[in-house]
């Protein structure tokens, strides 16, 4: 089984969409994505600086738009038998699987980004990556500090979220054998602090039509495959305030016999995690149009030859 995966917030970088606008139809598609999401994604992806595109309400639709631009440019999508997304990447995965239309995916992610930015502004919170150490000990330390394990990324990486003073204490006194890296995000995503955003997204999601997936799609909730499109949309809503279990997604990939993985733009993070957790599985990170042929070769099986 060969799969496509879609990255989450933090994977963007200034100017990263510039090369994609040379692809046939991409400029027109991105202009349409901008209208649906309520963000000038052309300017955001080609002109704006790191601080501007770090803004939650910009970053989220920008990442989903980039993933879908590269997905539509992929020469051999018929070779994709399963999809999954990390955090906001689940919206791109939903569109790729046929659960949501691209219009609904971009509209919802625009609402999600604005709602999460508003929720993040209510209290001083943030997130930090904890690298290494024993997972049980790390989680125990977070509980001591009143922090939440927001992302279980696998490969020895867990992301803590919560109040900034507690995160500062975590950095000053990290669990044994770990490194703590503060992340440049606006708030404690995938925690109780995002509860107001859940309700805003739930109301919007109730207005869209969801279809059952055309390929296998795995959920961040518990790594399980989801056969119902409406169930998957419900999980998309709840995910805003619940942990991302990418570790369990990768365990499901392994159990399903995944033999190749393509990460869509802005790629690199998920293929990096896969190198540690899915050893021996070929993976291609589609960072620019130059990577499309390598991705197509993997999906067609030519890379196995």
* Residues designated as active site: 87, 190
The pair of three-digit structure tokens given for residue 187, joined into one six-digit string: 């708030």
In the block, residue with structure tokens 């995503």: 189
Q: What angle do the packed helices 56-73 and 102-121 form, to 10 degrees?
A: 160
In the block, residue with structure tokens 């056969």: 227
Nearest to 264 by CA among 110, 81, 88, 68: 68
Nearest to 108 by CA among 52, 44, 64, 43: 64
Residue-by-residue DSSP string for the chain? -EEEEE--TT---TTTTGGGGGSTTHHHHHHHHHHHHTS-HHHHHHT--HHHHHSHHHHHHHHHHHHHHHHHH-TTGGG--EEEESTTHHHHHHHHTTSS-HHHHHHHHHHHHHHHHHHHHTS-EEEEEEEES-HHHHHHHHHHHT-EEEEEEETTEEEEEEEHHHHHHHHHSPPTTEEEEE---SS-TTSGGGHHHHHHHHHHHTTS-----SSEEB-TTTS-B---HHHHHHHHHHHTTS-EEHHHHHHHHHHTT--EEEEPSS-SHHHHHHHHHSTT--EEE--SGGGHHHHHHHHHTGGG-
Q: How many angstroms separate the CA atoms of 269 and 8, rounded?
A: 9
């Amino acid at each position: 089984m060969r799969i496509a995966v879609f990255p989450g917030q933090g994977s963007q970088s200034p100017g990263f969409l510039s090369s994609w606008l040379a692809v046939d139809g991409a400029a027109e598609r991105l202009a349409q994505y901008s209208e649906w999401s309520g963000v000038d994604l052309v300017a955001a992806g080609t002109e704006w600086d790191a601080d501007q595109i770090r803004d939650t309400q910009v970053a989220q639709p920008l990442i989903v738009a980039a993933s879908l631009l590269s997905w539509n440019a992929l020469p051999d999508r018929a070779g994709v038998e399963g999809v999954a997304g990390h955090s906001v990447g689940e919206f791109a995965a939903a569109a790729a699987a046929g659960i949501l239309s691209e219009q609904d995916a971009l509209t919802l992610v625009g609402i999600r980004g604005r709602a999460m930015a508003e929720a993040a502004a209510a209290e001083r919170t943030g997130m930090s990556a904890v690298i290494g150490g024993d997972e049980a000990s790390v989680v125990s330390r977070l509980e001591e500090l009143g922090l939440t394990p927001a992302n279980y990324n696998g490969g020895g990486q867990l992301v803590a979220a919560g109040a900034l003073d507690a995160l500062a204490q975590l950095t000053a006194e990290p669990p044994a054998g770990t490194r703590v890296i503060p992340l440049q995000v606006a708030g404690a995503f995938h925690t109780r602090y995002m509860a107001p955003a859940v309700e805003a997204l739930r109301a919007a999601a109730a207005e869209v039509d969801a279809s059952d997936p055309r390929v296998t799609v795995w959920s961040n909730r518990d790594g399980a495959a989801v056969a119902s499109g409406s169930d998957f949309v419900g999980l998309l809503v709840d995910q805003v305030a619940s942990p991302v279990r990418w570790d369990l997604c990768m365990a499901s990939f392994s159990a399903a016999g995944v033999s190749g993985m393509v990460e869509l733009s802005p790629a690199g993070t998920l293929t990096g995690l896969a190198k540690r957790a899915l050893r021996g599985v070929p993976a291609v990170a589609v960072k620019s149009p130059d990577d499309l042929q390598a991705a197509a070769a993997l999906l067609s099986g030519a890379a196995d030859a």
